[in-house]
Chains A and B, each alone.
Chain A
Amino acid sequence: MTSPEERPGEQGTDLLAKLFDIRSFTGALFLIFGVIVTIVGLTAGDADIRKSAGLNLALIIGPIMLALGALFIVWLLLRPPELLHGHEVTEEDLPEQLRHQGLEAIPEHPGEPGPEPPPPPRRRPTGH
């Protein structure tokens, strides 16, 4: 697994990429939903309130969604996302028993010298 720290220069350069975090999507969705439903709640008629057991439900749910949306955005700001970037598959990504069977195209991967003799099968991969 390649962490952003190992790819200097990439982190922080792509502002758009940083926005593509699930928290920004969910946060934005609930902010929009919250605003719409709150407005509906503010303009709710008696019939709507009678319908839902005497509660102005839209005026309860709307602000809850606003708060939820805000929560996601605050969380996003406090802990900026790691960049989501694709990464090439290497032998390390395969089960030990399958290495040097399915991935013949090793030279495609820049920075790797090409097919090496298989490692001794019992050697545990050290933490990475």
Chain B
Amino acid sequence: MFLAAESGSALSLDLSPVDLVLMIIYFSFVLGIGFALKRAVKSSLDFFLSGRSLPAWVTGIGFISANIGAVELLGQSASGAQYGAAMVHYFWIGAIPAMVFLGIVMMPFYYGSKVRSVPEYLRLRFDPKAHLINAITFVVGSMLIAGVNLYALSIVLEALLGIPLILAIVLAAVFVLSYILLGGLTSAIYNEVMQFFVVLIGMVPLTIIAIKETGGLGQLFDRLSADRGASFVEPWTGTGIGGSNPVGDWIGIILGLAFCLSFGYWTTNFAEVQRAMAAKDGNSARLTPIIGAYPKAFVPLITILPGMAALVLLPGIGTAGSGLEYNDAIPALMDKYLPPGVLGVAVTGLLAAFMAGMAANVSSFNAVFTYDLWQDYIRPGRSDQYYLRVGRWATVGGVAVAVATALIASGFSNISNYLQTLFSFFNVPLFCAFIIGMFWRRATRSAGFWGILVGTVTAITVYALYKFDVLAFRSDLQETMWGSIAAFAAGALAMVLASLREPRKTDAELHGLVYGMEIRDASDVAVRPWYRSPVVLGLGVLVLNAGLYVAVYAF
């Protein structure tokens, strides 16, 4: 959708009055939630972590919904049209094992230690250097990416409703600002839950109709296979070394995409982990990403699949002169097939998804800014009410920066791609610091800083070598996979070397933070029925995943 502005995509939706009414009702509910929750915010912990009070199904849906923004809905359907079925790897071998791992293995350290943010874990486990590098890059990154989300949302508003771009940016920003100011994280999460169901109701019928119109799944796959080769519809075909699968080779997929990139994103991104930290007890926190993993397993069916169907249903999409970018696949299909009423629900879901993406950035930004920068380094030792006020002002400031970024992005639309690339360099080294910090007690204070620094430099170096044609890869996707493997390996090596020349931390300093010293609360050690057991549910979703891979080959 970012690309739409560049090419002047001509897509606009034909909305009827009833569609607009549905949209207005939805957004009144969004504001209503903010006002209703105002009275539940009494402390900074209520504002930033929902007072650690939400049930697992709410945080679980929030967890997955925070991620169903611009990237998921439009980006993944665009990738489906561009790269084909192999994009499912990003879900089934990428995201889901990472979410299960976060829930079963890592969550006791995050939740049990009572850290209030992901950077705070680094501060306690390592030292302020590692903490600052993570807190600052996260704060800057989430503000800028909130701006990019805001810009994407405004393009949709402009294209679909004819609202001028600048007005759309300000309108959307004020909206997100007001409901987060009122209800804090709880407001953001409640909206994510509502949005999740609206997106579902909008996207599922679209997929069903798209498949029906192409003559069924078997026929669609046969046709695409004939046009573009078997590796376009079979995720593992051509993934040998030197093969033809556009996504890459199997080593890159398993080690790079699954282990480094996806684990890096899902287990260390505070915008996600924050939802689990808002859960009411240890077991609910562990269940959060696992409950989120079940719907996540089916997201490719409502994103990648319609993207692939669009190749048949919208002839010429993605080619010059058709007026349609790959990014337009979903809105264009909606316009073509959804009748009044249903179209309103679907477009509402789309807008809500963009808004939730931005709200997730803002609500995690203000927590890290307040706890990790303001409280730790600028004004420590004040009362909790003081930090609650700082958090509210930080929200205003963060949204203001996001508006500025969105306005800049509207002038230089490529900037958003560069931003996403830039901040992706930090993810894998961070994961390296976390996983080694959690499982190797011997890792010392400065190990975290050196691991993040060396890993990030390595990732940037591999990327630069690829851009200057020193290293060759099949696609940008394959480069990111191998770049992450290199970043992880270099980061791990740096951590080991740094640890060898320093004394280890004491057990008291590490209590709750490392393997073998987890703090588990009563909910987490009690006997639970199977449907509340993270391990059983986690294994269940992995089996489901394997079944989905098999199902793709059945067609």
Which A residues fall within an 8 A CB radius of B?
1, 17, 19-20, 22, 25-26, 28-30, 32-33, 36-37, 40-41, 44, 48-49, 51-53, 55-58, 60-62, 64-65, 68, 84-89, 93-98, 101-105, 108, 121-122, 124-125, 127-128
* B40, A96: Cβ atoms closer than 8 Å: no
CB distance from B387 to the nearest CB of A (A): 9
In the complex, residue of chain A having the shortest beta-carbon distance to the beta carbon of B512? A96
B-side residues, CB < 8 A to A, are 18, 21-22, 25-26, 29, 32-33, 36-37, 39-46, 51-53, 58, 113-116, 120, 124, 186, 190, 193-194, 197-198, 201, 205, 209, 212-213, 280-281, 336-342, 344-345, 375, 380-385, 507-509, 511-512, 519, 521-522, 525
Contact of B209 among A36, A37, A55 (CB under 8 A): A55
Interchain CB contact under 8 A, A86 and B339: no
Across the two chains, which residue of chain B brings its CB closest to A68?
B197
B375 touches A102 (CB 8 A): yes
Q: Which of A62, A86, A88 has the most CB of B within 10 A?
A: A86
**Is B37 a contact of A53 with CB atoms below 8 Å?**
no
**Would you call B201 and A64 a contact (CB within 8 A)?**
yes
Q: Give the residue of A22, A48, A97 whose beta carbon is less than 8 angstroms from that of B194.
A: A22
- With A22-B58, A121-B508: A103-B341 Cβ-Cβ less than 8 Å: no
Sample 22 A-B pairs with CB under 8 A, ordered by A number: A1-B53, A17-B39, A26-B194, A40-B18, A49-B339, A51-B336, A52-B209, A55-B209, A61-B342, A62-B341, A85-B39, A87-B46, A87-B51, A88-B384, A89-B43, A94-B114, A95-B115, A95-B512, A96-B113, A108-B383, A121-B511, A122-B508
A57 and B114 in contact (CB under 8 A), knowing A26-B194, A29-B29, A86-B51? no
Q: Cα distance A41–B344 when bound, in Å?
A: 13
* CA–CA, A128 and B281, complex, Å: 9
A95 to B509, CA, bound (A): 11
Q: A108 contacts which chain B residues (CB < 8 A)?
A: 383-385
Tell me whether A102 and B380 are in contact (CB under 8 A). yes
Closest A residue to B336 using CB positions? A51
| B342 A53 Cβ-Cβ under 8 A | no
Per the bound structure, the CA–CA distance linking A108 and B291 in Å amounts to 38
Bound-complex Cα distance A105 to B386 (A): 10
Residues of B within 8 A of A61 (CB): 201, 205, 341-342, 345
Contact A93 B45 (CB under 8 A): yes
Task: Assess A87 versus B519: contact at CB under 8 Å? Given A53-B209, A58-B340.
Answer: no
Asked whether, in the complex, the Cβ of B43 is within 8 Å of the Cβ of A88, the reply is yes
Chain B residues, CB < 8 A from A41: 341
Docked CA distance A40–B344 (Å): 11
List residues of chain A with CB within 8 A of the CB of B213. 53
Residue of B nearest to A82 (CB): B53
Q: Min CB distance, A57 to chain B, in Å? A: 5
Q: Are A93 and B36 in contact (CB under 8 A)?
A: no
Instruction: Indicate if the CB atoms of B42 and A53 lie closer than 8 Å.
Output: no
User: Interface centre among B338, B339, B508, B519, by most A CB within 10 Å?
Assistant: B339
The chain A residue sitting closest to B37, CB to CB, is: A20
A52-B342 contact in complex given A36-B21, A89-B384, A96-B512, C-beta closer than 8 Å: yes
Residue B342 contacts which of A37, A98, A125 (CB distance < 8 angstroms)?
A37
Look across to chain B and name the residue whose beta carbon is closest to the beta carbon of A108.
B383
Closest to B381 in A: A104
Q: Are A58 and B113 in contact (CB under 8 A)?
A: no
